Amino acid sequence: MTTKTTGTIKGFIFDLDGVIVFTDKLHYQAWKRMADRLGIAFDETVNHRLRGVSREESLDIILENAHGPALDAEEKRRLAEEKNTYYRELLEELTPDAVEEKVKDTLVKLRQRGFRLAIGSSSKNAGLILERTGIAGLFDAVSDGNNIQRSKPDPEVFLKAAAFLGLEPADCAVIEDAEAGIRAAKAGGMFAVAVHSAAGCPLADVSLGTFEELLNIG
């Protein structure tokens, strides 16, 4: 890996799903339940396209495989809420064990070193996930789908997270597992760190092989 050597990093902004907690399977199950009810083909290939985008945009992607007349805005809103109901039912089963110990340890060590930490997630369920997993206290701020108008790759969610931390965008590193999030970080003038499925993304400033390697940045 390559590390940032300017010493300007003062805060870390983390995507939630797929970075801190792996809830992709739960999203898939919820969308699949909705799609099956409607008779819409939905598989892992389609699901991969949903990474890093909002619930509403995800629904539009799924509806590309639908037959029949186009749905109006109200019908789409109801379907998005249906999926979210299924998803929240699954989230209620989350426990602190859903977050790996090495992830918790890394977050604690970053805080001990004086870094400010935030969540920057398009999800409107970030608060519930943090509560169920018992890690809300590790973050100084949360910017999520409830306080933004534009989802990734627009940088709004990360810019608001930086503002909540009281930091300039250039002083923040964003940790992401999706290309849309990497694009958002770069559009916001932030240092982009690719992990997990985004590792190797050419748009990122650095790709990490393990979450613990974050301790080498700053």
Under 8 Å between Cβ of 182 and 201: yes
Q: Which of 15, 144, 154, 205 is catalytic?
A: 15
Alpha-carbon distance 107 to 142, whole Å?
Answer: 15
Q: Which of 17, 144, 154, 205 is catalytic?
A: 17
Cβ neighbours around 96 below 10 Å, total: 11
Task: Please report, in range form, the residues annotated as the binding site for Mg(2+).
Answer: 15, 17, 176-177
Task: Please report, in range form, the residues annotated as the binding site for substrate.
Answer: 15-17, 31, 50-55, 58, 83, 121-125, 152
Task: Please report, in range form, the residues annotated as the binding site.
Answer: 15-17, 31, 50-55, 58, 83, 121-125, 152, 176-177
Q: Which residues of 69-80 are buried (b: 16+ CB within 10 A; e: fewer)?
A: eeeeeeeeeebb
Alpha-carbon distance 63 to 42, whole Å?
Answer: 10
Under 8 Å between Cβ of 139 and 117: yes
Active site residue 154: no
Active site residue 15: yes
Helix H or strand E encompassing 75? helix 73-91
Residues with a known catalytic role:
15, 17
